[in-house]
Amino acid sequence: MKLKKIVGLATVAFASVAALAACGSGASKEAKEDNVLRVGVMSLSESEEARWDKVQELLGDKVKLEFTQFTDYSQPNKAVAEGEVDINAFQHYNFLENWNKENGEDLVAVADTYIAPIRLYSGTENGKNKYKSVDEIPDGAEIAVPNDPTNESRALYLLQSAGLIKLDVSGTELATVVNIKENPKKLKVTELDASQTASSLPSVAAAVVNNTFVLEAGLDYKNALYKEQKDENSHQWYNLIAAKSDWEKSPKADAIKELVKAFHTDEVKKVVEESSDGMDEPVW
């Protein structure tokens, strides 16, 4: 994060990663001013910085944001539960639900923010895509998907949305290849480590590649055959702002509501789309 820009222009206080060595243990449990909102985030990318800059700009003096960066995904929810921060913004619904179950907590979603859709990419031949549309994928073709439970399920729902298969589960239910009830093209779905689906493209008809590996593999997401749609099956992958279940009764309730109001604007929507070059899509 460009600290001078944040402090000087957007008046956002920023805690460095070094200050997090003790998982925020030096932070005060209570922020004295009700209009100061402590936000827990993971290490911020340039695109996320741009979004929060715009949110703070829209909030003006009504709410001052103080950010704490974490280096471990287990920390931001714990910080909210223990009162070290007021809210956090780093996860999707699936992650929050699992974390609550594993830790006996009941943190809740305050607002939806965006989704980073996964995509189906064409297989390649001599460095060029074999297909330009899902319809061109031939009968009996092989499609690679990640083999870990979460990403495999997400990939299979993607293939269903693309019209290639039909599953006998829906919503938040995890899907595996055994849940494929209809496969009109008799496609062969091959499970690979998530880091390997991109490298399989020369030998398969298509592959679902996690966003984490897209740039690394030199793929252009704009040329993907199909991208994840915003529907009931992808809702669990919506990113969100989380808080304690009783946040509306807290002294910070008004500040949180103002934050959501500022985030859910066309101005922030534009920043989300432009700063991510279209990789992230607003869902409010």
Summarised one tens digit per residue, pLDDT across range 180-208 is 999 999 999 999 999 999 999 999 999 99
Q: Find the angle CA(268)-CA(235)-CA(73) to the nearest 5 degrees.
A: 75
* Residue that has been written with the tokens 């980073």 in this structure: 116
Domains contained in the chain, number: 2
Instruction: Write down the pLDDT at residue 60.
Output: 97
Give buried/exposed letters for 88-118 (b at 16+ CB in 10 A, else e): bbbbbbbbbeebbeeeebebebbbbbbbbbb
What's the pLDDT tens digit per position in 3-33? 323 332 223 333 333 333 334 444 444 556 8
Do the Cβ atoms of 228 and 115 come closer than 8 Å?
yes
Report the C-alpha gap between 130 and 113 in whole angstroms.
Answer: 35
15 falls within a domain? yes
Within a domain: 232: no
pTM passes above 0.75: yes
- On whether both 141 and 106 belong to a single domain, the answer is no
Q: Is the pLDDT of residue 2 over 50?
A: no
CATH number at residue 210: 3.40.190.10
- Residue 160's φ and ψ, nearest 5 degrees, are -65, -45
Spatial distance between the Cα atoms of 204 and 217, rounded to a whole number of angstroms: 15
Model confidence at 211, pLDDT cuts 50, 70, 90, reads confident
Same domain assignment for residues 191 and 251: no
Pairwise CA distance, residues 128 & 122, whole Å? 9
- What's the confidence (pLDDT) of residue 31? 54
Q: Are residues 159 and 75 both part of a single domain?
A: no
Q: Find the domain containing 158 and state its range.
A: 119-227
236-265: pLDDT as tens digits: 999 999 999 999 999 999 999 999 999 999
